[in-house]
Structure 1
Amino acid sequence: MPHDRHLIKIIREAAKTGSYRFSAHATQRMKQRKISASMVLKALEKGTTDREPEPNAKLGSIEVKLNHYCAGVNYAVVVGIIDNEVIVTVVTVF
């Protein structure tokens, strides 16, 4: 499995270039939890991780949880990264 720093670098680059997308599940959770797309972008740009990335065998991805604090809210964004794909996917937010 790739090292955390390498995965964070991929996520930061995706944030910088706009190479990310939202899963339907993430969009639904964002509405429910009142987390905006700009808050998610801030998490991609500056979020910190407190656990090891986890493989998602169903999707064939590695998932990274990023924690962030913005607009008076502590929240987390889970990002899925698939080898050889340019775009990363925001899987869920909480």
Structure 2
Amino acid sequence: MAKWTPTHEAPEPLEGPVVATITGGTILWFVLFLVQLPFYGWFADHGHTWWLWTCLAGGGLGLYGIYFVRRRDAAIKRAASADPAAE
């Protein structure tokens, strides 16, 4: 097992516009759901209604993701302002 043990430190995680990324993905899931909704009959005839429900579930989980990353971002900012020596 020692053969597969990493010998170097893991890099720092990349930070970016996380809230904007999650919001954009959530909007995309809801747009995909709304675009497919008029074709529900075709999806039902061909057994592909799961496509619609997958898009709706993605949008719903994205709403939770927006809530989560906004709270995370606020907590990071609070921690940074409380401890200016950490920078």
Q: Same fold (TM over 0.5)?
A: no
Shorter chain as denominator, the TM-score bin is: under 0.3
Higher strand residue share: 1
TM-score by length of 1: 0.26
Higher helix residue share: 2
TM-score by length of 2: 0.28
